[in-house]
Every structure is written in structure tokens, then in C-alpha cells.
Chains A and B, each alone.
Chain A
């Protein structure tokens, strides 16, 4: 079974430039997550999709970050314009639909490391 695919793995940009990250979840996984992980910290949830609908984006800085999930499969996360504090690893994860109230396992991609200069 193919895992969660992310690209690019590394990106270096100047502040105020824009960047986009792409994620392809595991086939059949309805839920897709984008996390931001700053060096030395735990992952912070930015946005969560259930199929192609957003179920949580409370911690997404909406003035500069946007995300979409086309046809309930692939997803892109965009930052425009980038700030120095956006330097982090952006992790995409997916999980199956839950049949009960208990969450299942999250499968993570390798992440996209962003450096903003």
C-alpha cells in the first residue's frame, strides 16, 4: 500500500514570497490533516478535511494560509505572503473514516521543510 506522498521535500524562499505544498493521501482515506511542526515542538493542526469539506481550520492563519482538497483526494496548502515565523515542517496525514467515536491511526507523509529567509 502506497503511503502519504508530499512534495516538495524542501523549499527555501524569501519573506513575502508565496509557496505551495502538495499532498496525496492514502487511497480511500477520507480524512486529511495538515500540521505545522516548528523545530523542537510538537505538530500543530492547521486544517482538517473530511472528504472535501473543512471540519476544523481554527488554527489556520487565514490572512496568509489557504488550503483546498480537490474531489476529496489530493490537497494543497498555500502560504502567501510568507513570514519568517512560517519556517517549519509541514506535515500531511490521512486516516480512514471512523466507524465509532474513536479515532484511528494517522498515517503521515515525510513532510515539506520550509525555510523563509
Chain B
């Protein structure tokens, strides 16, 4: 069964450092997303990506964040200068279409800890 894969599963970084979280979406999916979940809180949308550009972003996704699809399979989230409050689980998701009933499939997540 196709799945979304994320690496690394855990990342510990010092405040102010740059981190890159990696995702391989499902191969025939065209829409890619990053969500985050701070411990004990709900899953929050960060950004969506289609046709090599950002299609939508939330107010959380400020200038410290960027996304990229460097090749035909990877989709990355970069946090330029991490802050303590960036500590969270980061989930990548993908969908085949942008229709209202399209199903989103999530990766296992990367647990980012900023110290």
C-alpha cells in the first residue's frame, strides 16, 4: 500500500539552527502539505504546495519557513532559524486532487525538539 514517508523520525536542534524535514509523498499525488502538532494541541495546517509553488499558507508559515520540491520525489520543509516554540510533530501529507472530498494521507511525522 502506498504511503507517505518522512525523515528523520526525530530531530533535536539548537535554537537558531536551520533544520530541513524531508518527505516523500505518494507517487501519483499532486498536492503536498505540511501540518504541525504541538504536544497536547490540535493538528494545524502550515502550507500546501502544487505545481512547484505554494498554493496556500497559514499565518504560522512565516518567513522562517520555506518549502521545496528539489526533485521528482522529495518535498522538504526548512525552518531557517529555529525557535523553542517550533518544537512539535511535523506531518507531511499528500492528496491526489484538490477536490473537497479528496483524501489526505499523512506520514508518520518528524518530532522536532528545539533546545
On whether the two chains bind one another, the answer is: no
